[in-house]
Homo-oligomer: A and B are copies of this chain.
Amino acid sequence: MRPESRPANKTLIEKILLITRLCEDERVALSALPFHTCSLRPGKTIISVGDRPTSCFIILAGFVTSSKISGTSSAGYTGIHIAGDMPDLFGLYLDEMDIDMRAASGCTLAFVEHAAVRRLCGDHPRLNGALWRLTLTDAAVLREWIINVGHRDAIVRLAHLFCEIHMRMLEVGLAPGDVCDFPFTQAELADATGMSTVHVNRSLQQLRALKLVSFDGKKLAILDWAGLAAQGDFQANYLHHGRGTAAAHGRASIEERTPHV
* Chain A residues near B (Cβ < 8 Å): 1, 36, 38-41, 44, 46-47, 49-55, 66, 68-69, 74, 76, 78-79, 90, 92-96, 98-99, 109, 111, 113-114, 118, 121-122, 125, 128-129, 132-133, 135-140, 142-147, 149-151, 193-194, 233, 237-238, 240, 242, 244-246, 248-255, 257-261
Contacts and interface: CB of A to CB of B under 8 A. Distances in A.
Contacts of A53: 250, 252, 254, 257
A258 B99 CA distance: 16
A30 B33 CA distance: 32
Contacts of A54: 248, 250, 252-254
Contacts of A244: 93-95
The number of times this chain is found in the oligomer is 2
Given A118-B246, A135-B135, A150-B193, 9 more contacts: A1-B255, A51-B252, A53-B252, A54-B252, A74-B151, A93-B246, A98-B140, A98-B237, A146-B149
B94 A240 contact: yes
Nearest to A194: B150
Contacts of A257: 46-47, 51, 53, 55
Contact of A248 (B95, B146, B249): B95
Contact of A240 (B92, B98, B143, B253): B98
A42 B122 CA distance: 41
